[in-house]
Amino acid sequence: MELSQLTIHAASDLLAAGEISSLELTEAVFSRIDQVEERVAAYINQDRDEAKAQAVAADQARKQGEVSPLCGIPLAIKDVICTKGLATTAGSRILENFIPPYDATVMERLAAQGAVCLGKVSMDEFAMGSGNENCAFGTPHNPWALDHICGGSSGGSAAAVAADECLASLGSDTGGSIRQPASHCGVVGVKPTYGRVSRFGLLAFASSLDQIGPLTKDVTDAALLLNGICGHDPRDSTSATQGSEDFSAALQEAGDLTGLRVGIPQEYFGPGLDPEVEKAVRNGIALLGEAGAEIREVSLPHTEYGVAAYYIIAPAEASSNLARYDGVRYGRRAPEADSLLELYRRSRSQGFGPEVKRRILIGTYALSSGYYDAYYKKASQVRTLIMDDYQKAFAQCDLLASPVSPIPAWQIGAKASDPLSVYLSDLLTIPANLAGVPGLSLPCGFSESGLPIGLQLQAAHFQEGTLLRAAHSVEQRLGLVGQKPNL
Ligand code: GLN
């Protein structure tokens, strides 16, 4: 086995036993990147010298005693998370030359544990999209089918894990952006409970929905990486005080799920669900049953209004968050503007891509005086109804099981002229963000043409341990871990 194919936990064992060094491991991943990156295009930016220096420091730390399992582990980071001294573009021309003067809290935590940052990976501009086709620096290719999308917006994070161009990665999820690309690339992705992971240093898209989380080769790694980034942060006012937890402990409790009640939301199996996706997901659900879980039908009756509410709330928050990119304080400044207004106008028209402009226009319109009640207020009320749906469902069950995306990955360019159909495909992932509950995507099979399909599990607030335990049990029964795309 190549070193780049290792999981975090396998690499960590080898590092602890002194059988490999982090420098060797990091160099092996860079050779892998050299081999496949021309076809996958997952990365936007790398600083190899800095990564190797971090690896050397991690090797020294290991020699000096007890370290975190993440010590010396090479990770890829979505380019929306601030990295001190390393360009952070959010996939946008407007931040092309932005070098953050500080680290995001998650980066600080990872650095303190000795993790190695390989570089920054591709994403839809400002995390707006579902196919990573809205990145100013190119579209990454799905390692399982190179002419297909990786999913989005954390497409580079998912592709890099699937192609062994890192051991694991971080993404962010506002309406599905960790779970959906994880599903399309056949890796594990976790959107934590809102407040579980600090958003400090995450370039904001929609602040009431954004959450950082791990994309990994297996469930054990997802627990390890989540352990490493979660916990209270006084610099994020929405950070939860009960944020820290040891998720690896939840995985120790064997694979028997007796006593666990799994709800199947009927609304998640409606029209538009691809039959191959349904088949793989139903098989995953059957395995939950075989592991001892009790399977029952539940209803989340307002699911169908989630997309409409999200595409008011998220653009409204984005129109406000993105006002800071004005050509004065950050990033790109248009040359030759002869007034301040002209400077704003030109910098923003040149710096933002079409999808970001569309969202800013929608959001500004929705918030404008006279329309607020009809749009933003209404959408917030729908959000409350969706939260109530979850509360009622979680009175009857511990987990919800469903598809992640109603369709497998599409061909790059196939939906370019139809943004609405792309928005609609977020139907099954958006509700978790609106309610703030955690969600996970676990690989559960392939379509006939070889495209990965994910099983989504959702749980009540702060029940990631239950999510991971159930996912681990299904993962062991499926035996898909270690299956690699033929690159
Ligand atoms: N696809 C959704 C959107 O375009 C979700 C994106 C995300 O989670 N960042 O907004």
- Write out residues with Cβ below 6 Å of ligand 1: 127-130, 153, 173-177, 205, 314, 426
Residue 326, pLDDT score? 94
How close are the terminal C-alpha atoms of the chain, in Å?
15
**Rounded distance, CA 260 to CA 177, Å?**
28
Count of CB atoms within 10 A of residue 405's CB? 27
Residue 297, pLDDT score? 98
Res. 419 pLDDT band, cuts 50 70 90:
confident
Q: What are the φ and ψ backbone dihedral angles of 79, each rounded to 5 degrees?
A: -75, 25
**From ligand 1's centre to the CA of 174, what distance in Å?**
6
pLDDT digits (tens, 9 = 90+) for 431-444: 999 999 999 999 99
For residue 174, pLDDT beyond 90: yes
Residue 290, pLDDT score? 97
**Rounded distance, CA 406 to CA 191, Å?**
18
To test the pocket of ligand 1, the residue of 124, 149, 170, 355 to mutate (highest count of ligand atoms within 8 Å of its CB) is 124
To test the pocket of ligand 1, the residue of 174, 356, 360, 430 to mutate (highest count of ligand atoms within 8 Å of its CB) is 174
> Is the torsion defined by CA of 81, 85, 91, 94 positive or negative?
positive
pLDDT digits (tens, 9 = 90+) for 128-161: 999 999 999 999 999 999 999 999 999 999 999 9
The atom number, within ligand 1, closest to the CA of 127 reads 9
Residue nearest atom 10 of ligand 1, based on CA coordinates: 128
Could you tell me which residues come within 8 angstroms of residue 465 by beta carbon, excluding any fewer than 6 positions away?
245, 247, 249, 250
Residue nearest atom 5 of ligand 1, based on CA coordinates: 175
Res. 109 pLDDT band, cuts 50 70 90:
very high
Res. 50 pLDDT band, cuts 50 70 90:
very high
pLDDT digits (tens, 9 = 90+) for 356-381: 999 999 999 999 989 989 999 999 99
Pairing of strands 294-298, 261-265: parallel
Residue 444, pLDDT score? 98
Average pLDDT of the chain is: 97
Count of CB atoms within 10 A of residue 395's CB? 9
Residue 55, pLDDT score? 98
- Residue 428 · residue 404 · CB < 8 Å: yes
**From ligand 1's centre to the CA of 152, what distance in Å?**
7
Res. 23 pLDDT band, cuts 50 70 90:
very high
Describe the strand order of the beta sheet including 168-173 as a list of residue ranges: 43-46, 116-121, 74-78, 168-173, 211-216, 188-191, 439-446, 452-459, 399-403, 261-265, 294-298
**Rounded distance, CA 128 to CA 136, Å?**
12
The atom number, within ligand 1, closest to the CA of 174 reads 8
Residue 108, pLDDT score? 98
**Rounded distance, CA 376 to CA 364, Å?**
11
**From ligand 1's centre to the CA of 214, what distance in Å?**
16
**Rounded distance, CA 298 to CA 454, Å?**
20
pLDDT digits (tens, 9 = 90+) for 71-82: 999 999 999 999
Q: Which residues are catalytic?
A: 78, 153, 177
3-state secondary structure the chain: CCHHHCCHHHHHHHHHCCCCCHHHHHHHHHHHHHHHHHHHCCEEEECHHHHHHHHHHHHHHHHCCCCCCCCCCEEEEECCECECCECCCCCCHHHCCCCCCCCCHHHHHHHHCCCEEEEEECCCHHHCCCCCCCCCCCCCCECCECCECCCCCCHHHHHHHHCCCCCEEEEEECCCCCHHHHHHHCCEEEECCCCCECCCCECCCCCCCCEEEEEECCHHHHHHHHHHHECCCCCCCCCCCCCCCCHHHHHHCCCCCCCCEEEEEHHHHCCCCCHHHHHHHHHHHHHHHHCCCEEEEECCCCHHHHHHHHHHHHHHHHHHHHHHCCCCCCCCCCCCCCCHHHHHHHHHHHHCCHHHHHHHHHHHHHHCCCCCHHHHHHHHHHHHHHHHHHHHHHHHCCEEEEECCCCCCCECCCCCCCHHHHHHCCCCCHHHHHHCCCEEEEEEEECCCCCEEEEEEEECCCCHHHHHHHHHHHHHHHCCCCCCCCC
pLDDT digits (tens, 9 = 90+) for 223-258: 999 999 999 999 999 999 988 899 999 898 778 999
**Rounded distance, CA 223 to CA 471, Å?**
11
Pairing of strands 168-173, 74-78: parallel
pLDDT digits (tens, 9 = 90+) for 178-198: 999 999 999 999 999 999 999
| Mean pLDDT confidence for 6-21 | 98
What is the CA angle 313-230-473, rounded to 5? 95
**From ligand 1's centre to the CA of 314, what distance in Å?**
9
